[in-house]
Chain A
Amino acid sequence: MKKLVWASALAASLALVGCHGNAEAGEPAVVEPGGKDIAVVSREEGSGTRSAFEELIGIDEENPVVDGAIVQNATGTVGNSVKDNPEAIGYIAFITLDETKGIRGLKVEGVEPTVDNVLAGDYPLSRPFVMIYDENAVTDADKAFIAYLQSEDGLIEMEAKDGIIDKTGAEPFDADAFGNLEGNLILGGSTSTEKMITHLADTFTALFPHVTYAYDSTGSGAGIKNAQDGTYSIGFASKEVAADEVGEGIAIETFCKDGIAVAVNESNQLEGVTIAQLHDIYTGKITTWDELK
């Protein structure tokens, strides 16, 4: 009796392992989208990816995310939700798209979600991260931090925070060239850049123990304004800043880009979506895959 129980348990677990193995081998059953509704997967309120995505596709108070959307609080969980569900659509960081097997990035407005397309400015679900500072008012510590943001070391730290960067021509950061710095970096602006910039400021101040920093999370608009009137030594914005938006002697530099990939299950036959379609999917106006064909 006991032997029988063990044998059947063993057989069952082998069968399970077997099934899993097949799925891993890269032959998922082709599911015809259209049979069921689209399973919309979103991030949680407060997530930077979510606020960027909603801003880019035009979610607002009159057109909120549909009640039936699944909410997951990590980009990896969104990726796995899409991997496990042939009807699902979700938005994730670019790096998650590469790391998760079984999902596919959709073309947005006909443009493939690749790092090159983001850097070229072609991919629409992308924003530049911009720093704004008064060239005549920056201190030595500010100058060093600006140089750090443009150095290879700085770019590597940005990449670790899901930033999309172009390392060509960037050189390693030479801390010795700045000597023994002192001072306080007064940073501020976009809420989307906060996590990345505070991370960079942490690694920067580790090199210069007498430099401290503060980041005032107020929004891109305030970042642009406060960098000009001297409230911030460096302001940050997560949108394009035109040269005529700022006064004389104010430098605007894009140091990194933010890209959001729209992922569907590998078995999904859809090629791409438009921004308008994404808006309608996330607000519940489009509910089936058939409407996207």
Chain B
Amino acid sequence: MVELSVKLEEENSVECALFLHYFEVEVLSVEKEMSVNQRRVMMEKLFHGIFFTAASIAVVSVALIIIFIFSRGLQPFFPGNEFGNYNPISFLTGLNWRPSFGTFGIGYMIVSSLLATLGAILLGVPIALLTAVFLAEVAPKRLAAIIQPAVELLAAIPSVLYGVFGFAIIAPAVRNISPYSTGNSLLAVILVLSIMILPTIASICTTSIRAVPGYYREGSLALGASKIQTIFKVVIPSAKSGILTAIVLGVGRAIGETMAVILVAGNSEGGIPSSIFSIIRPLTVNIALEMGYAAGMQQQMLFSTAVVLIIFIIIINLVLSKIQKKAG
């Protein structure tokens, strides 16, 4: 038996060697090649996964925030809430916020937020647009090299510093011209917000004005229009969609701003503002001011305020995407 097997091995040894050679050269190398390919595919898949995860974090965060705020904020308006129910109409139209007496009206805060935003846009947009025109069209390069970084730096200043500036400088200045005894007012908020939205609007406007093709200007100038006429009749209308985008982003920033506003708004507990010197309480301020110590119904109603705020932000974003779609 043993002899036979040895013999067989001897006989087959050549074939065996050949087979082994074949195995090494062909099969292994193919396998090696496959493994390189596979690794490549794996890496592709892995990175695909990493990118996808990164992208989903944003989507998941938005979804979680919205679900969280809506689920907490809508509770007081549905039966079975542990802290009792509140009428959504009196919540949205109420003119007083007195949590310790069970009154939660945010109507005057919605008006405050809208007026403050409108005022900031009316004041901030013209300044920002003219800054952009100056930077993109008029300014000598050396001057633009000073102004542009200054505008960009303005965007980088933390919002609480705008608040401190407003509290220490703007509010006292407003008090001097106000018929009331406080400078904390709608006007002070508008002034702070218009400075804050300035860099956002100015830099987007500058980019979109620079993107207007040179032959538009050449054509206009060739027709005999002056430089100013060219800017206002040709360049700005051509950059319209960029400018509108900038304004909508400015609205978003103004309506969402909190830290800067909390120090200059006065944060009244009721009443529609009757003049620009009236003290106001925007929606964001209501949440930031009281969330710290709030409990029970008061805390839920602060989440309800957040729901209203989120709805405003969603509307602003829808308008933004509509504008961008229209512009192509």
A contact set with B: CB distance below 8 Å: 2, 36-39, 44-48, 51, 54, 61, 64-65, 67-73, 77, 80-81, 84-85, 87-88
- Once A44-B289, A46-B293, A67-B270 are accepted as A-B contacts, the answer to whether A84 and B168 lie under 8 Å apart by CB is yes
- Once A70-B279, A71-B267, A71-B269 are accepted as A-B contacts, the answer to whether A37 and B181 lie under 8 Å apart by CB is yes
Tell which of B172, B269, B293 touches A67, judged by Cβ atoms closer than 8 Å.
Answer: B269
Q: How far is the CB of B83 from chain A (nearest CB, A)?
A: 15
A72 touches B267 (CB 8 A): yes
Question: Is B96 located at the chain interface by the 8 A CB criterion?
Answer: yes
Tell which of B142, B262, B268, B290 touches A45, judged by Cβ atoms closer than 8 Å.
Answer: B290
B contact set with A: CB distance below 8 Å: 96-101, 142, 167-168, 171-172, 175, 179-184, 262-263, 266-271, 279, 281, 288-290, 292-295, 298
Tell which of A2, A70, A73 touches B184, judged by Cβ atoms closer than 8 Å.
Answer: A70
Tell which of B167, B179, B263, B290 touches A44, judged by Cβ atoms closer than 8 Å.
Answer: B290
Tell which of A37, A54, A73 touches B292, judged by Cβ atoms closer than 8 Å.
Answer: A73
A selection of 16 A-B contacts at a CB cut-off of 8 Å is A45-B269, A45-B294, A45-B298, A46-B292, A64-B98, A67-B96, A68-B279, A70-B182, A70-B184, A70-B266, A71-B268, A73-B262, A73-B290, A85-B172, A85-B181, A85-B183
B99 touches A36 (CB 8 A): no
* Alpha-carbon distance between A61 and B99 when the two chains are bound, in angstroms: 11
Most buried by B among A67, A77, A88: A67
A46 touches B290 (CB 8 A): yes
B290 touches A64 (CB 8 A): no
A51 touches B292 (CB 8 A): no
* Alpha-carbon distance between A65 and B295 when the two chains are bound, in angstroms: 21
B270 touches A45 (CB 8 A): no
Q: How far is the CB of A64 from chain B (nearest CB, A)?
A: 6
A46 touches B298 (CB 8 A): yes
* Alpha-carbon distance between A32 and B288 when the two chains are bound, in angstroms: 35
B271 touches A67 (CB 8 A): yes
A46 touches B183 (CB 8 A): no
Which 6 A-B pairs give the minimum distances between C-beta atoms?
Answer: A87-B181, A46-B293, A36-B181, A71-B267, A67-B270, A67-B271
Tell which of B167, B269, B294, B298 touches A65, judged by Cβ atoms closer than 8 Å.
Answer: B269
B98 touches A88 (CB 8 A): no
- Once A70-B266, A70-B267, A73-B262 are accepted as A-B contacts, the answer to whether A47 and B293 lie under 8 Å apart by CB is yes
Which residues in A have their C-beta under 8 angstroms from that of B293? 44, 46-48
B268 touches A69 (CB 8 A): yes
Q: How far is the CB of A42 from chain B (nearest CB, A)?
A: 8
Q: How far is the CB of B31 from chain A (nearest CB, A)?
A: 60
Q: How far is the CB of B65 from chain A (nearest CB, A)?
A: 23
Q: How far is the CB of A248 from chain B (nearest CB, A)?
A: 36
A87 touches B267 (CB 8 A): no
A73 touches B289 (CB 8 A): yes
* Alpha-carbon distance between A61 and B171 when the two chains are bound, in angstroms: 31
Nearest residue, chain A, Cβ from B299: A46
Q: How far is the CB of B18 from chain A (nearest CB, A)?
A: 76
Q: How far is the CB of B87 from chain A (nearest CB, A)?
A: 18
* Alpha-carbon distance between A68 and B269 when the two chains are bound, in angstroms: 8
* Alpha-carbon distance between A47 and B269 when the two chains are bound, in angstroms: 14
- Once A70-B267, A73-B289, A73-B292 are accepted as A-B contacts, the answer to whether A61 and B181 lie under 8 Å apart by CB is no
Q: How far is the CB of B95 from chain A (nearest CB, A)?
A: 8
* Alpha-carbon distance between A48 and B290 when the two chains are bound, in angstroms: 12
- Once A71-B266, A73-B289, A84-B172 are accepted as A-B contacts, the answer to whether A38 and B181 lie under 8 Å apart by CB is yes
* Alpha-carbon distance between A173 and B288 when the two chains are bound, in angstroms: 39
Question: 5 more A-B contacts (CB under 8 A) besides A67-B271, A71-B281, A88-B181?
Answer: A38-B181, A46-B292, A73-B292, A80-B167, A85-B175
Q: How far is the CB of B192 from chain A (nearest CB, A)?
A: 16
Which residues in B have their C-beta under 8 angstroms from that of A36? 179-181
* Alpha-carbon distance between A22 and B269 when the two chains are bound, in angstroms: 36
* Alpha-carbon distance between A70 and B182 when the two chains are bound, in angstroms: 8
Which residues in B have their C-beta under 8 angstroms from that of A84? 167-168, 171-172
Nearest residue, chain A, Cβ from B95: A67
* Alpha-carbon distance between A48 and B100 when the two chains are bound, in angstroms: 12
* Alpha-carbon distance between A231 and B214 when the two chains are bound, in angstroms: 82
A39 touches B182 (CB 8 A): yes
Q: How far is the CB of B61 from chain A (nearest CB, A)?
A: 27
Which residues in B have their C-beta under 8 angstroms from that of A54? 100
Nearest residue, chain A, Cβ from B98: A64
Which residues in A have their C-beta under 8 angstroms from that of B267? 44, 70-73
Tell which of A46, A48, A67 touches B268, judged by Cβ atoms closer than 8 Å.
Answer: A67
Q: How far is the CB of A84 from chain B (nearest CB, A)?
A: 6
* Alpha-carbon distance between A102 and B263 when the two chains are bound, in angstroms: 19
B269 touches A46 (CB 8 A): no
Which residues in A have their C-beta under 8 angstroms from that of B100? 45, 51, 54
* Alpha-carbon distance between A38 and B182 when the two chains are bound, in angstroms: 9
- Once A39-B181, A87-B182 are accepted as A-B contacts, the answer to whether A77 and B263 lie under 8 Å apart by CB is yes
* Alpha-carbon distance between A162 and B142 when the two chains are bound, in angstroms: 56
